[in-house]
Structure 1
Amino acid sequence: MKKQVYHKAKAKQVYMTQSQVTRALIQKEITEKSMIMLLGIPLIVLRDKYSFGKKRLELFTEEVLKQVKCVENNVVTLEELHEVIKKETGMEVKFK
């Protein structure tokens, strides 16, 4: 049984100075560019090793980006996602 971890986050009203807005926009742009670059690795693995086609790669990308938004919006932490993986599969997410 697959479990969806993400859900809609409630929007918070935040007041920021112009420099904070600029910093937030730059940070968002850097994050988005980094995600696009990092998505290339799992996408090529899914394509080369598991023969994913365009449709399945697009669906995978959409789901990854949903999870990223949940982390960005503080709905869930990376540590919580790693705990779910370990609890459900026994696999630890770590860099070897």
Structure 2
Amino acid sequence: MRNSSPGTIGRRAAPEPATDRPHRRARRAHFRRRRRQQRLARCRRDLADPAQHTVPIGAIGMRWGYPRSSDFTRAFRAATGTTPSEYRAAGRAGR
């Protein structure tokens, strides 16, 4: 009779650690990229919202997971090509 304990089954079914590592790394990178895109989309929405024009830009960044204004500004500029304050001002001018 074969040993059918959960640990034995798991070891037999598990991929080799060295071959699975690139796949896990790719999944983590995809997750981080997707999470960053979602956070920045929420920031853009809040910056464009007229009801939130008095909320400080740093507070919007902090609300969506950027602990420092400089981190938020850097990530926002890299994604959009403009700073959060320029983005907010352009939204106001467009109205």
**So what's the TM-score if we normalise by structure 2?**
0.42
**So what's the TM-score if we normalise by structure 1?**
0.42
Q: Which has the larger radius of gyration?
A: 2
Higher relative contact order structure (alpha carbons within 8 Å, sequence separation ≥ 6): 1
Task: Pick the structure with more helix per residue.
Answer: 2
